[in-house]
Structure 1
Amino acid sequence: MNLFWPSETQKPNEAPDGYYTSEDLPSANKAGQFLNQNIFHSCPRILEKKFGECLHNRTHLIKDLICSGNAGLGPIEIVHMSYSNKHDKEEFGEYFYVTGVEVSSPSVPVEFLKALRSNQRISKNISNDIISTYCCFNFFSNLDIRIRYDADGTFQTMAIDCNKETTDLTMTDKMWKETFVSSVIRAIITNTNPELKPPGLLECPFYVAKDTVSTCKMIIKLLCQFLPRSLDCGWDSTKSMQSTIVNNYLMYSLRSFIAITPGLVDFTVDYLKELTKNDPIHNLYYKMAMIIVLDHTQTKELEMITVLNKTLDPLLSLLNGLPSRNSDSAQLMNCISDLLNIQARFLLNREDYELASDVSNTSTQLALDCFESWYNLAKCHIKKEEYGKALFAINSMPHLRKSDKFLDTAYSKFLASNYYKKPLNGSRPHFDLTSTEFTNLCGTLRNWKEDELKQQTFGRIAMINETKVGYIKEIWDDIAVKLGPICGPQSVNLINYVSPQEVKNIKNINLIARNTIGKQLGWFSGRIYELLMEIVNKIGWNGLLNIRTEAFMMETEFHQNSINVTDENGHIPMETRKKRFCESWLDDLFLDLYEDLKLSKISLNNKDEKHSGLEWELLGLTMLRTWHWEDAVACLRTSIVARFDPVSCQHLLNVYLKPPDNLQEVTLLDTDTTISLLVKKISYDCRYYNYCQIFNLQLLGKLCNELGMHVLRNKIVVQPSVGDEIMIMIDTMLAWIGDLRHAKQS
């Protein structure tokens, strides 16, 4: 969102009635000044159990990730602060996670650490000799860059090779550039994926250039320049079996960044064209990125398909001469397959199902382990009402991981530390410090009263927020304290965030069973679910079962017929030979889908029944999975009426941002409701230090397109819960959108 960091303070001119005219709306720089200068007052604090253990654990985590062969994004940046208690003469440490600090040199991290120190008030029993350390992982070179800032104002930089455990490397300009790009990619990917976020994370703006447009252009240029090294960035193993030119974190982040800078699409495409001329050896990387950007924007189809065909045709001519069992050949075939998948999606959207089917078939032959190829092929068969063939295609798909290997490793280390304690809707004490530890914490946060600090401490993490940027009373002082930050692998629903008693009060045990963490649909399962639901939508559940019986040899059927598998002539009957065994994961999905459909039907038949807020949420999520869109929206809205629910809110806003394909003409959520929900979500995100809200910015952008910026702002201002604190954040976001619109027009 606000990926900039200006300096001067100046309050924007507001009209007497609280409405902005087109001349009054501030630039992003001016609107964000208060925010940017005051986030240092609002950093979380995680108190170490043993002094220095967070740096020690970080080193070992990086080593484990490198040894696993997929370091992925690497660990999130941290800031560690070393203190000394004068009375006990003992050292103790605090730290927090952070993203968004520009690290192309040591200067900005040092300024960041200096600002943290200057805004901190410590008690007399704490020594002034505070040592701060900023750590940032460079995943291109597998180095952890650590910048130490001492009390006397001096600093030193170390590049630690965690695998070899050496610190004698000298930082070069190339290594600094790698580190900066690593931090940008990590910030974008982390911000768009709540599962990656640990409690105690500060997501702050980038400090790059003098204005919004310059900052965005600089980030886009850097990401594009590093495209030839995109395979070194890691990838999400829940979406692809391996890293490809399309499936890697650099390409994911470029796509996400373009989504919030639509006014710079032409700039991005022009710069990629320039790179293809200046660096012809790697022109395939730049052309692929160009196609991805154009395809993602969905506004320049003709240009996209022209570039795609010009890129694809010469590659296809190389296929016959490719050496077998060669890594370069495999990567080229993956690249061709990715291009064919984009072409197939284009044809599907144009309803040319025959040609899309041929293209998808070719793609599967080139890359048997490519999920998108099989998905598109199954989609084509469904559109052609060839449901048996669709099930065969689904059954042939590579089974992708439910959770990313990198996330499993990183989060298991965090959970083992046991630093965070959920408040569970206020049902249990969540303060977990000894008296000595709390005295130390009070000493480093002197301006906080003890009872307030205890209330804001979750386990060993003090979730203080002094500046109240984004503050709404009903959010910050109530539900945010009761639920805490909704992040990590359990953030898919509120079962693990409310009181155990509230979960026990749910009468329908099957509703709980279908919504446990173990039963959650990962990205892969969710995509398959969509295909199965599309079939159910056309021929019903019984129709799907009949097709399944015709297509697959079920385990019970196999055991029953194993004795009499041959006919009287000793031959296996043709109908048996045509059948295939159903993959166990697909079998499980059939069972899950049946349970969801059954729960949905029971709920639809008992609409007058009363439920708790959690029940409404779980019912709404079940209805979403079974495509009962209007009932799902009604359930989720009721959940929010009972208690503001960040999970329900996210799903409702996602329905507005990306309406279901089969309901494009139906308005599931009106703009006034969307605005009300979005304002509350922005507030909740700010409470737990997210000042880089990419999802929320996309929503504001869509609302601006529909209503106009000034009508939208006026609608926000008149919301009953809106005050100056939340408008600081919203004005910054609106100014971001406005600045980039002007960039497009200029």
Structure 2
Amino acid sequence: MADSLKDIPEFFETELGEAIIARTDALGTFRELGPPDLCHIIKVNAKPGIKELGSYHYISGVDASSSASLAAYLNSLTYSMDDTQSWFTKSNSWRIRSDVRVEVKIPGGVESYYVDVRGERHEATAEIWQETYLSAVLRAILYSDDSYYRLAGYRKVDPILNLSAEARFLEAVESLFWKGWQLGSKPEIQVATSVHNHLTDGVMKYFGDSFRFAPAIELFKKLHKKDPEVGALLAKAYIGQNEEIKAVKVLYEDLKSVSMSYPLIHVQVDFLREKGEYNMALKLAKYAVDTTPSEYLTWAKLTEVYIDLNDYKNALLTLNSCPMFTYNERDMHRMPAAARTHLPIKPDIISSGIMEEDSVGRESETDSNISRLPAPALHGTFSKAYSLLTRLANALGWDELLRCRSQVFVMEEEYRMHKAQEGNRRSMVKADDLDQKLKETSIAEPKVPEPSVEKPTQTAEDELKEEVSFSFGNKRLCERWLDNLFMVLYEDLRIYTFWRTESAHYRAQKIAYRKTGTEWELLGDLGLRLWHENEAKEAYEFCLDYKFSAKAWMRLLEIYAKEGNTQKALLAAVKLTVYHERWYHEIVYPTEISCNLNSLIRKAGLSKMQNILTSMNLPKPVQKLMTRYFDYGELFKVEGYEL
């Protein structure tokens, strides 16, 4: 349409400026990094009597270091008008922390300010601009693959285009590093610290995905002088750079200064686990729990080490002790319903012959037994704990896991037996008339609660906490959340076992085993959850025989890259790149695609990867899109670029 931007998504407003109002109203609900940035434009027609139009899209990766850099992006939109020069960009809004906003009037000037939670305007200082810039880069890095932000109309572009831009990013990180905890942290971390927060996560992801830690090492060496706990980040970077001796020296010196730092201890634990020194790792993991018993991470790490040692009883007991936190939903835009939506596709993508859309119709149908499995709904600490439980199940098997569970936790039958024994004892006391004497001496008899067990496989946790007279030796009460995870695991294993048994039966009968594309995708997810990668790979490949699935291609890209299968990995990267380009994900790095391709470049060398890509005879527009990954490798000199 003539009032739409070419190749750029738009949501048109019903009431002019309603997106800005909704954004302002939501400011008080943003807790951490905030949602993706918002670009709002007003289009005015030169002809009199034509109503102004308001539209918006989401964006990340645009340079937000000044009003001029943001104005440049808005100016670029004026060249994207759909075959008409009669409309122009009037204003926009960007939200970063306190919601910095830049208004550009064409023709006219540029005005910048920030808005507080009350909607009041304030001057945007140099300090505010620096925070705005860094927050925008971190969102671009951390949200590049974040499935939580699969927003329609969300455009992603590269936040760091060259080495000078990278240097500026590092400069901003160094300047604001000690404020990083204010950005919050991953949901499994209860208290953000100077080394556990979104800022440090962004830095480690940015340099880790390209396996080039040298710039991060230089940064952390400077910060390390102020706080020895930064040694945890420095040691990780050294290990990533294959400089293990330097990493060990850093850990040794820093732990003498801050011996109770669990981030430092955990780096050492992981290093020892990598070397197979599980007994030494166990001592340190226990010490980390002693120093910081309120964090999920310390208990989870100890659980992992117990699993490494095949000490499954202690692993289960430790998992049961993990502090669990309520999962807070991520910051999101909550906009009024759009009057209409414009989601254009670039002509080159349409004509490439490679673009595939998610299927509709029968291949999107699925058996409710598969689609309603509860595990995918787990988040935060509960999702992480479930991963540990499935690792235990994979090591032990379901029956042995239940046996182990009954040995360490009080089970339902034991509860009933003890309750019956207690009832008999009280009857005898009453028969001897001792209850009257107890009343006379003001000693209250403990109350026996009625059982409220929901399922026979669960423990009587709530009752046993009140029933102090029972004794179960060394057994513990199983936490309700862990009981629930056992039920989730049971459902996963039930469907997985049925799938594998049914598949084997059909194979034996030489009959085709038929599932819809979506069912195969969900079975692939199930296989990965239960640590059966070969079965997951098979399911994802079957899925792609019936429908296009970005998720299946992404999981297969990871598997192929791990296997070193460059041909199949590149095919997966092509499919995903075209799909992402269709949905305005123009970002090259850092993404899961580039991370896996960088991994292959390390193994095979850049030249071989480029030659394989050339041999695929892709359409020129697609070839150009794929070449960007290798151009990045050369420019930033990722490991293997010279081979």
Shorter-chain TM-score above 0.5? yes
Structure 1 residues 111-510: aligned runs within 5 Å: 111-121=72-82, 128=87, 130-137=89-96, 139=97, 143-161=98-116, 163-167=117-121, 169-206=122-159, 212-237=162-187, 239-263=188-212, 265-276=213-224, 280=225, 282-284=226-228, 286-295=230-239, 297=240, 299-316=242-259, 336-402=261-327, 404-407=328-331, 410=332, 413-414=334-335, 417-419=336-338, 460-466=340-346, 468=348, 473-476=352-355, 479-480=356-357, 482=358, 498-499=360-361, 506=366, 508-510=367-369
How far 1:418 sits from its partner (Å)?
Answer: 4.3
- The one-letter amino acid of 1:387's match is Y
* Structure whose alpha-carbon radius of gyration is higher: 2
Separation in structure 2 between the aligned mates of residue 182 and residue 47 of structure 1, nearest angstrom: 27
Separation in structure 2 between the aligned mates of residue 49 and residue 556 of structure 1, nearest angstrom: 62
Aligned-residue sequence identity (percent) comes to 21
Q: Which residue of 2 aligns with 1:580?
A: 476
How far 1:98 sits from its partner (Å)?
Answer: 0.8
Q: Structure 1 602/745 Cα, relative in aligned 2: closer, same or farther at 3 Å?
A: closer
**Is contact 1:146-1:159 (8 Å) kept?**
yes
How far 1:80 sits from its partner (Å)?
Answer: 0.9
Q: Structure 1 288/623 Cα, relative in aligned 2: closer, same or farther at 3 Å?
A: closer
- The one-letter amino acid of 1:367's match is T
Candidates 92, 98, 123, aligned match of 2:59: 98
How far 1:565 sits from its partner (Å)?
Answer: 4.6
How far 1:228 sits from its partner (Å)?
Answer: 1.0
Q: Which residue of 1 aligns with 2:578?
A: 683
Q: Which residue of 2 aligns with 1:634?
A: 538
Structure 1 residues 487-566: aligned runs within 5 Å: 498-499=360-361, 506=366, 508-514=367-373, 519-555=376-412, 557-559=414-416, 561-565=418-422
Q: Structure 1 224/287 Cα, relative in aligned 2: closer, same or farther at 3 Å?
A: farther
Separation in structure 1 between the aligned mates of residue 247 and residue 145 of structure 2, nearest angstrom: 26
**Is contact 1:656-1:674 (8 Å) kept?**
yes
Count of matched residue positions in the alignment of Structure 1 and Structure 2:
588
Q: Which residue of 2 aligns with 1:58?
A: 23
- The one-letter amino acid of 1:621's match is D
CA deviations on 1:529-586 (whole Å, 9 max, x unpaired) are 3433333333321111011011112356435532325997999999713222211221
How far 1:123 sits from its partner (Å)?
Answer: 5.0
How far 1:275 sits from its partner (Å)?
Answer: 4.4
CA deviations on 1:670-698 (whole Å, 9 max, x unpaired) are 32222111110111111111121421111
- The one-letter amino acid of 2:299's match is W
SS of the equivalent of 1:165 reads coil
How far 1:744 sits from its partner (Å)?
Answer: 10
RMSD after superposition: 2.9
SS of the equivalent of 1:553 reads coil
**Is contact 1:79-1:96 (8 Å) kept?**
yes
Q: Which moved more, 1:355-364 or 1:249-258?
A: 355-364
Separation in structure 2 between the aligned mates of residue 519 and residue 734 of structure 1, nearest angstrom: 35
Q: Structure 1 114/283 Cα, relative in aligned 2: closer, same or farther at 3 Å?
A: same
- The one-letter amino acid of 2:174's match is C
SS of the equivalent of 1:587 reads helix
SS of the equivalent of 1:94 reads strand
Separation in structure 1 between the aligned mates of residue 400 and residue 555 of structure 2, nearest angstrom: 30
Structure 1 residues 67-82: aligned runs within 5 Å: 71-82=31-42
Separation in structure 1 between the aligned mates of residue 26 and residue 241 of structure 2, nearest angstrom: 40
The two structures have a TM-score, normalised by structure 2, of 0.84
The two structures have a TM-score, normalised by structure 1, of 0.73
Q: Structure 1 701/742 Cα, relative in aligned 2: closer, same or farther at 3 Å?
A: closer
How far 1:116 sits from its partner (Å)?
Answer: 0.9
- The one-letter amino acid of 1:240's match is I
- The one-letter amino acid of 1:350's match is K
Separation in structure 2 between the aligned mates of residue 83 and residue 173 of structure 1, nearest angstrom: 30
- The one-letter amino acid of 2:119's match is E
SS of the equivalent of 1:644 reads coil
Separation in structure 2 between the aligned mates of residue 305 and residue 145 of structure 1, nearest angstrom: 43
CA deviations on 1:96-128 (whole Å, 9 max, x unpaired) are 11111112111111111111113324658xx64
Q: Which has the higher contact order (CA 8 A, sep 6+)?
A: 1
Query: Structure 1 stretches of 5 or more lacking a match?
Result: 1-39, 66-70, 317-332, 420-432, 434-459, 484-497, 660-666
- The one-letter amino acid of 2:576's match is K
